[in-house]
Structure 1
Amino acid sequence: MPAPFRSGIGLQRGNAQFYFINPLRNKIPTFQQPKTLIFRMVNQSGSTRRPTCPSCSKPTPICLCNRLRSPALHNSVTVTILQHSLEKKHPLNSTRIATIGLKYVDVITVSDVNLQARFFIRLLNSGCRTDGVKCDEDSHLFDEMSSEGENTEFVGRAISGLPSEEVALVDSEATAISFTIGKYGFISSFSNHWMTLDECQNMSFDQLLASDIAVDDIRKGFVVKKLQMRPIEGSNEYEESKEFEIAIPSGSVLLFPSERSIDVEAVDFEVKNLIVLDGTWAKAKRMYNENPWLRFLPHIRLDVDKLSLYSDVRHQPRAGYLSTIESIVYAMKAIGEDSEGLDGLLDVFESMIGDQRRCKDERLSKASGK
């Protein structure tokens, strides 16, 4: 997750080993063949496998589900978590608490771009056509600047709370913005429905971000689809597949510490959807760079100086580096959500950390022969 945040999701960058919103994350080990064989043999033995809860993915003895209030907290501000693909199975990942503790939350898996990825954005605002023809109000959008998308079917699921009529609107509309990126977010090409392809060639993506009219249209709601290019295993060929397609409603904000971010306490508009990045700080930053569409959204940060509850089991580079669930809770409190219900999520998170601490102590005790 990207943002140093314990309450500080949007803090200054820090140690790359610490999650922006989540704690530091270990790399997936690469085993030699003999170790892999042993691992498989263990898995084949039913008696050696610890049963896990299908909801929280924790071992049954330390399941988190019965510690959370039922039913889940009815959050008025929906939450969208962009989770790095390597983060999901981390034993201390706190996103699991948000998914079972909040009623309106979606988790979208995001992978690194190692070859190429294409993005297509369609507007949810019916007041502006996206069929390649400029809107009347936009006809002079780039006059002061030295100023085809592809029709696609909406097959993803909308985030909770987005009116179904808005989602249906997308089915018949064409792409408003499309762009292609390489590794680390380098934009190799882009086009948009506000200008011709020739105009696009003489304009940068940052110039589009500087257009008040374009940004205003986009912030009224849009659908973004990502197509990822990957190598086909066992061959020298590549294939392109859809990684995600999500609806971003109006009133969405990104919790991330960028140069453009403002303190969450300074927000002067109604926030309807909170987007957070889940991964180590390094992974969160890369997710941000490789998903340029995030830059169209208002950015907020948490200016706090608290220690993360993670600090007992993980090194915290500095105060303000928070877990994902802490970042969500502190941001939603500032936005105006019910504090009592949100505090309950932190209680569960603290108990999960306690479980980890006890397991660690038990392992050390056994290792020392006590």
Structure 2
Amino acid sequence: MQGQSLKRVGSFHKRCHPVAISPLTAQRSILYQTQNTEMATQSKRRSMCPACSKPTRLCLCTRLKVPKLHNSIAVTILQHSLEKKHPLNSTRIASIALQNLSVIPVSDVNSQARFLIRRLFNSNLERSSSCEACDQHVVGFAVDKYGTVLSFQDVWMMENGSPPRCGFDRLLASREAVDDLGKGFVVKKLQTKPLRGGIGLEGMLRDQDEEEENEEFEIRVGAGSVLLFPSERAVRVEDLRGVEVRNLVVLDGTWSKAKRMYKENPWLKLLPHVKLDVLDGMSSLYGEVRHQPKEGYFSTIESIVYALKALGEKDDEDSKGGLDDLLDVFVSMVADQRRCKDERLRQANQTNFL
């Protein structure tokens, strides 16, 4: 039996003829195998840094000269929900570099959103935790996906017997309301979304117009908060009067996303608006890797650094690079992205050539 088996195997090999492979096919096969091997190796090695959310080999944390800067002026970043995972999102640098920082995810209003505002302090400047009245909402309004205010109500209107307001413009005309909210407030956003169809009979019988309301965020906006946004009412930092800035609010997203966030969150109008004093010819460090709408528009981290400097933020005595260190890290991150872009183009050209 063993001899017969060996004989059959031998006869099988005799019938097999080598297949002719062209040099071009062989070259493509080698390239394909090499790319698969590289991709498999990258997938195994592509561990992510939990702090800066970059691949470990491109980690930004080790590039900082000091672990954290103790910024005396707090920074609150309202980050568009689609911006977080962008490879060039610079908020990640602020997150690992600034100690006094809050990052709040903000999504677009797809149907309708409701906002509720309550005081942080009462009229006697007592903290809200010891003031029952501060737990009550003093402003409530709803907006649609275009940022149009659908309904609006506030306690100052009701107390004075004034006619219903059209929105924030009339509220801002009330000195009492502005002074009261200037002491600090808490804003809550409730996002309204249509209910998804359930499973089985329940889903079939559910009204298609039925909606549910979920809390998206609740933000504490302390006294001395200002918004960095180039609106028509924005003033240069140097021209800001009567405000001791303690908190800088920044919108993080592309210019179109930032404008939409501003429009869909009209409570931001309650804050003084500031803008950067841009020098002629001053451009973003983004360079050619990410398009800026026009000269004088900067990344989030650049805007934060320039604004904090203009507001008088001083570097720590223990810090080696201070705020400028953040810009150095940003430049290196942009360089990483440029190298990755060049590598992809080079690989694509090689593939097309073959």
- The normalised TM-score by structure 2 is 0.77
Change (3 A) 1:233 1:308: same
Match of 1:114 among 110, 113, 117: 110
Change (3 A) 1:319 1:334: same
Match of 1:238 among 185, 188, 211: 211
The 5 A counterparts of 1:315-334 are: 315-334=291-310
CA distance in 2 between partners of 1:198 and 1:331 (Å): 39
Report if aligned partners of 1:223, 1:246 keep a CA contact under 8 Å in 2: yes
CA distance in 2 between partners of 1:200 and 1:117 (Å): 25
Match of 1:341 among 301, 316, 322: 322
Match of 1:208 among 150, 153, 171: 171
CA distance in 1 between partners of 2:336 and 2:73 (Å): 30
Match of 1:248 among 221, 224, 227: 221
CA distance in 2 between partners of 1:259 and 1:47 (Å): 48
The 5 A counterparts of 1:29-178 are: 48=43, 50-127=46-123, 166=127, 168-169=129-130, 173-178=135-140
CA distance in 2 between partners of 1:99 and 1:169 (Å): 32
Match of 1:190 among 143, 152, 157: 152
Report if aligned partners of 1:53, 1:59 keep a CA contact under 8 Å in 2: yes
- 1:132-163 residue CA offsets vs partner (Å, 9 max, x unmatched): xxxxxxxxxxxxxxxxxxxxxxxxxxxxxxxx
Change (3 A) 1:167 1:92: farther
Q: What is the match of residue 338 of structure 2?
A: 357
CA distance in 2 between partners of 1:262 and 1:301 (Å): 6
Offset, 1:290: 0.8
- Structure 2 segments unaligned to the other structure (5+ residues): 1-39, 199-207, 316-320
Q: What is the match of residue 221 of structure 1?
A: 184
Q: Percent identity over the alignment?
A: 59
Offset, 1:232: 2.5
CA distance in 1 between partners of 2:336 and 2:131 (Å): 46
- 1:87-137 residue CA offsets vs partner (Å, 9 max, x unmatched): 1111100000001100010000111112111111111122179xxxxxxxx
Change (3 A) 1:71 1:315: closer
Query: Between Structure 1 and Structure 2, whose CA radius of gyration is higher?
Result: 2
Where do 4+ consecutive residues of structure 1 move more than 6 Å? Answer: none
CA root-mean-square deviation? 2.2
- 1:67-90 residue CA offsets vs partner (Å, 9 max, x unmatched): 113330000000000011111111
Q: Is the partner of 1:314 in helix, strand or coil?
A: coil
AA at the equivalent of 1:245: E
Match of 1:288 among 246, 262, 266: 262
Report if aligned partners of 1:95, 1:324 keep a CA contact under 8 Å in 2: yes
Q: What is the match of residue 302 of structure 1?
A: 276
Offset, 1:282: 1.1
CA distance in 2 between partners of 1:285 and 1:66 (Å): 34
- 1:196-219 residue CA offsets vs partner (Å, 9 max, x unmatched): 299565322211111122111111
CA distance in 2 between partners of 1:187 and 1:317 (Å): 28
CA distance in 2 between partners of 1:84 and 1:201 (Å): 35
- The normalised TM-score by structure 1 is 0.74
Q: Is the partner of 1:74 in helix, strand or coil?
A: coil
Change (3 A) 1:185 1:201: farther
Change (3 A) 1:123 1:360: same
Considering fraction of residues, name the structure with more helix.
2
